[in-house]
Chains A and B, each alone.
Chain A
Amino acid sequence: MPVKLLMGNEALGLGAIHAGVNFVSGYPGTPSTEVLEAVAKHNDGSIHVEWSTNEKAALEAAAGAAYAGARALVTMKQVGLNVASDPLMTLSYIGVEGGLVIVVADDPGPISSQTEQDTRNFAQFAKVPLFDPASPGEAYAMIQDAFELSERHHTPVIVRPTTRVSHACGTVKTRGGVADCGAAFQNPTLDDDDASWERHVPSGFTKDTQRWVVFPRTSYLNHGKVEKRAAAIAEELSFGYRPNRIEMSGMGHAEATCAFAERGDKRFELGIACGGISYHYVMEALEMCGLELPVLKIGTPYPFPAKLATEFLEAVDEVLCVEELDPIIERELNFLCGFEFLANTVHGKLDGYFGYAGEQSVEAICDVLADVADLHNETNVSDQIVSLPKPELPPRPPVLCAGCPHRASFYAVKRAVGKRKAIFCGDIGCYTLGNAAPLDMVDTCLCMGGGITVAQGIETVDPDTLAFGFVGDSTFFASGITGVVNAVYNQHDMIVCILDNSTTAMTGQQPHPGTGRTMMGTEVPPLSIPRILEALGVDCQIVDPLDFEGAVQAVRDAIDKTGVRAIIFKSPCIYLEPPAHPAVKLDLDACIDCRACIKQLGCPALVVEDGHVAVDESLCYGCELCCKICPTDALREGGSDE
């Protein structure tokens, strides 16, 4: 088949393979996770693929590989780059030998993230080129261009998909071989022979302290080189690189570019500037509104293709900038207007046409176009929406799964603490969902590994409060250990609760150092969390959270102690193993419909049917936690009375 249906992240992974990648590292995070998984899936064993302990470790290891001449890929979500920012900032100065591409997936919405930070800012800040793909097809081509550019200019390069590129599927033409920057993108090869891509053979590391060791004196010199490099790349990307282009809307690609080039002296009253997924929203909105306008598409927001943008500004009066998150393109155009003495009016977020938060949409663009282009036609999308008043619907936020061991862990802590004054500092992972009623067991959540350390600050200020820090197993390795070290060294008084479900659950069950499996498919000795804690001098208990009484007792024992103590709640994620027990049965004769089960556990399998508690057997995993708290023993182990 010459054409594949690929998810944007798969396209990035496959594109990296076809660019001859040798070394791939990353840390899971929505919406980036599938990039590394795609490489692992198609790996013939010649590519080193690893989930690193965190993004900083991933980038440093990849930098080392690239120093030694390998082509290296690092994957993470946008907040992951915060963790990896220390090596990134310096790596921009030091540079690389082999191509180094960092895929950083942004999450406008946000749909699955703590922030709506815009990685294009990071590229400007670190002075690292950034490619901003608009579709899975463009992502596939761009990551190959990114490797080529990185290697030729000896700079790390960021490829920044957003959720609607990463998690969209599109028809993609794949090819073998290594792409040339820009040129090859214009003629995507039809051949789908995955075996025909060229393998890259790393040169090996060559010692050169002037080059690889960062010192103030070399940084001064490198700073100048970095600025020159950015200017040279901006020049290169301004003309002839197809993802940066000016075209007329409402036509096929080839004629659209020609139509603008052959405009002669014609000026346009209005033009649109956009990048990333917003480009496709814009093209669709213009089609819906029946508008033919020049569109400036920015595929590389840093270094900004200023010459191309100036050509665009010289052909239009007003510009509407359509982008997600920060007004990066809009600021660049405003800057160019001042720098080049141009009289354009630039609209966008800065003058309030669009908001900053959330995703961009075809509907919102149509509305603004109607305003800016002064349209009075029939294209108001919202007119078509059914006007019958809708019934009220109960909200449906994400919840801990039926049978999730985290529910049992939180509930055990809640019961053991009782009415004592306590603070529950949560963390990033499925267990953030422990914040919802009725558990209500997450008082704070800041960032990866932050639960353990935030608890230390609070207990110092409120010494009469029992301080709990919750952390998952993967997060413990990623950035929880340093917090425990801090607590021990600085004599904090807290209980560390490690919710160990033997996987990185939220992002889809990735292995981590404690699982004993690697992304190369090998079995390795798993790192032991209790032995790490023991080495740090932390008193540590291990309990099965589904052994309800045992778990409550363990928490009580920990409460009675002082200093830093830990409880490891160990029970696998329900996605790892089939249910060990059948669905729970409800004895209707014994049930007094007090709903204690529902009110205390909030399990999705406990529902109300015809005004009475019922068990949804299609959802029940048979964890039997509800059986242990039912005051009349009406909830029973499935099959127990058969």
Chain B
Amino acid sequence: MSERSGLNCVICGVGGQGNVLASRLIAQVLLARDEHVKTAETIGMAQRGGSVASHVRGGHPQSPLVPKGCADCLIAFEPGEAVRCIDYLAPGGTIVVNTQAAQPPVAALQGIDYDGSEALAYLRALPGVQLVEVDGASICEQAGSSKVLNIALLAAAVKSGALGITREELEDAIRERVHPRFHEMNLRAIMLVSE
């Protein structure tokens, strides 16, 4: 097994949920620490409401993709996508999951009543895994925008300790990479999760 000390994180969800920004913010934090960073993102056709995953790695990584079984932290915008990407998780890793399901149009068409509950039950039953459940819908409502889901999940991951980064570092990364117009609502989302 690799001796690397750097972070390995996989962020998964549905195209359009703000996945790429989430991975860039973690990368920004590591860059601010003078770490070597690599990320891999899904851009293009798969973005249009399909399953997407971003990978972020610190500490002189070779591959931009996290090998299976090596992610310290899996951040999922949706319970089913967490299950789809579970093979990336390292033993004893942390899963941060938004409990609200995103229903694929295929499910509605085929009359499958997909609400993510089976996926959540599976995640809860996984042995030796730290599971952090986030009520994303409620935080978005309190923060006043559905756009802050990515920041809410990042803040929960920061709080869990799995990313090895601090709230202040995340806030600095937002100030560095996000348009000032959106700073307040994103910082509010962090506050709602952290306190």
Contacts and interface: CB of A to CB of B under 8 A. Distances in A.
Q: Is the interface of A mostly helix, strand, loop or mixed?
A: loop
Interface stretch (A230-238, A309-317, A384-392, A529-537): A384-392
B141 to A, nearest CB: 10
A250 to B, nearest CB: 11
B51 to A, nearest CB: 5
A386 B86 contact: yes
B105 A381 contact: no
Interface string B100-122: 00011111111111110011011
A170 B115 CA distance: 37
B39 A169 contact: yes
B90 interface: yes
B109 A437 contact: yes
B45 A506 contact: yes
B110 A394 contact: yes
B5 interface: no
A287 B2 contact: yes
B49 A401 contact: yes
Interface in B124-153: 125-127, 129, 146
A112 B112 contact: no
B31 A3 contact: yes
B48 A363 contact: no
A181 to B, nearest CB: 26
A611 interface: yes
Interface in A339-377: 361-363, 366
Contacts, number: 190
Nearest to A607: B103
A399 B105 CA distance: 8
B46 A5 contact: no
Contacts of A608: 103, 107-108, 111, 113
A428 to B, nearest CB: 10
Interface string A387-421: 01011111111111100000000000000000000
B162 interface: no
B69 A395 contact: no
B36 A361 contact: no
Interface stretch (B60-68, B163-171, B182-190): B60-68
Contacts of A607: 103, 108
A283 interface: yes
A38 interface: no
Interface of B: 1-2, 14-16, 24, 27-28, 31, 34-51, 61-65, 67-70, 80-81, 83-84, 86-87, 89-91, 103-115, 118-119, 121-122, 125-127, 129, 146
11 contacts: A5-B39, A164-B64, A167-B41, A277-B63, A280-B62, A281-B63, A363-B68, A388-B125, A393-B80, A396-B14, A396-B49
